[in-house]
A and B are shown apart, each in its own frame.
Chain A
Amino acid sequence: MNENKLVHWFKYASPQSFYPLAGKMIPWFWALTAVFGIAGLWISFFVAPTDAQQGEGYRIIFIHVPTSWMSMFIYIVLACWAGLGLALNTRLSGMMAQALAPTGALMAFLSLWTGAFWGKPMWGTWWVWDARLTSELILLFLYLGFIALQAAIDDPRRADKAGAILALVGVVNVPIIYFSVKWWNTLHQGSSVSMTKSPSMATTMLWGMLLMALCFWMYSIAVALMRVRAIILEREAHTEWVKLLDEVKS
């Protein structure tokens, strides 16, 4: 029976069987994105109280914090897929890593941009050379390096593997970079959400942020799946099963 289960799961490591599965999952993740997004936006705009010190401008954190979380989380997921691809030599892992990279870069970019919008009224400046801002910027560079490396290699299998090594080297470096930039920590306020002590913000704000984080999470999954489907079609274009697909035939 156990054997059956294994076969069942590893079946989806092949692009051919993952392609329809991803197609079935995408609408669900879009639906979840919409549900969490509407609930999150409603809470963040209408329920969460105006901040005593920061006024209405603070509401940008409902975008800023989730995008920062996602940018870091996606890099870790990307590195996991990359490591899996190197260890097991599965084709789908490389495609997943490739599909995640642009979303991660987008999240890092949004996080920096919303941070700048927040910083201008709050700190009076668009940018400060603080540890978290700087490491987020370097994270964006790491994403861009990953995308550029994969784009420069014509052979997709080599692109996957070379990208995987880069992602793994990067993921080892991310904490080192973070702690090294922390040395000249300046204006950034301390982290306001913490796992250990109770959060210093109102509960409704926290809910808004968590819902928005879930919304971005579901969005990232949905977009990555859509992109991975496109990558599968592109790379498997020569195969028989792709030619038989309805969307390809028409």
Chain B
Amino acid sequence: MNAILAIIRRDLLLAMRRKSEVLTAVFFFVIVTSLFPLGIGPESALLKKIAPGVLWVAALLATMLGLQRMFAPDHHDGTLEQMLLSPTPLGLLVGGKIAAHWLLSGLPLVLLAPVLGLQFDLDAGALGVLMLALLLGTPLLSLIGAIGAALTLGLRGGGVLLSLLVLPLYVPALIFGAGAVEAHVSGLGAGGHLSLLAALLALAIFFAPWATTAALRIALE
């Protein structure tokens, strides 16, 4: 447990020393969501309808931006190899790195989403559901993304490749996440979607660090 906390603390500290990288992803999220009304037109009924989808797609893309940095700098300066050799299981350390990635790129999106949702004229209840769905969904994105980041570690064209590998796997999160808000707005209740999202998260917490570890070992072989 201490090891996880130490890794999280270290990654957050490193990120704080280079704030621009974290802020870029957050501003990307803000700008992309603000572009949609400009492209589609200011009719509030239409905007209200597409809001959950737009916010979710923007969140997927924004988390993608930070994925490559999850392992690449550590791989570059040799820290990753030290982690591989350390007595603490690599899975735990990877878990810490995923948690740090979520704190840096997922949590800000969860906190920003309601503000952006106001641009799309969502009401308070829908905003609450949106936040809850993102709270369950963004860790899922970090977990699945970690597998892709580990697989593409040190490859040429890694960034584009990473999106090709990871985005199809994000589909269920997108469907249930955006679906939760839509179900709430149409009066069906978001419970089912949120439960499924939570179930996917539980599955991913168990399997993703394991698959990431295997991929890292292959990359560092």
Residue numbers of A with Cβ under 8 A of B are 86, 138, 141-142, 144-145, 148-149, 152-153, 158, 161-162, 165-166, 168-170, 172-173, 176-177, 180-181, 183
Establish whether residues A152 and B165, one from each chain, have CB atoms under 8 Å apart when the complex forms: no
A166 to B176, CA, bound (A): 23
How many contacts between A and B, using CB within 8 angstroms?
A: 63
A176 to B202, CA, bound (A): 14
A145 to chain B, nearest CB (A): 4
CB-defined contacts of B207 to chain A, threshold 8 Å:
172
Main SS of chain A's interface residues? helix
CB-defined contacts of B156 to chain A, threshold 8 Å:
152
Within 8 Å of chain A (Cβ to Cβ): is B151?
yes
CB-defined contacts of A145 to chain B, threshold 8 Å:
164-165, 168
Within 8 Å of chain A (Cβ to Cβ): is B13?
no
Establish whether residues B164 and A141, one from each chain, have CB atoms under 8 Å apart when the complex forms: yes
- For A147, give the chain B residue with the smallest CB separation: B164
Establish whether residues A165 and B214, one from each chain, have CB atoms under 8 Å apart when the complex forms: yes
Establish whether residues B172 and A162, one from each chain, have CB atoms under 8 Å apart when the complex forms: no
- For B217, give the chain A residue with the smallest CB separation: A161
Establish whether residues A152 and B152, one from each chain, have CB atoms under 8 Å apart when the complex forms: yes
Establish whether residues A148 and B164, one from each chain, have CB atoms under 8 Å apart when the complex forms: yes
Provide a sorted-by-A list of 6 A–B residue pairs whose CB atoms are within 8 angstroms.
A144-B164, A165-B147, A172-B207, A176-B172, A177-B172, A180-B196
* Residue in B175, B176, B214, B219 whose CB lies within 8 Å of A158: B219
A152 to B75, CA, bound (A): 18
User: Which residues between 175 and 221 of chain B lie within 8 Å of chain A, taking CB atoms?
Assistant: 175-176, 179, 196, 200, 207, 211, 214-215, 218-219, 221
Identify 19 new A-B residue pairs, CB closer than 8 A, beyond the known A138-B168, A153-B155. Answer: A141-B164, A144-B164, A145-B164, A145-B165, A145-B168, A148-B164, A149-B152, A152-B155, A152-B161, A162-B215, A165-B214, A165-B218, A166-B165, A168-B211, A169-B169, A170-B169, A172-B207, A177-B168, A180-B176
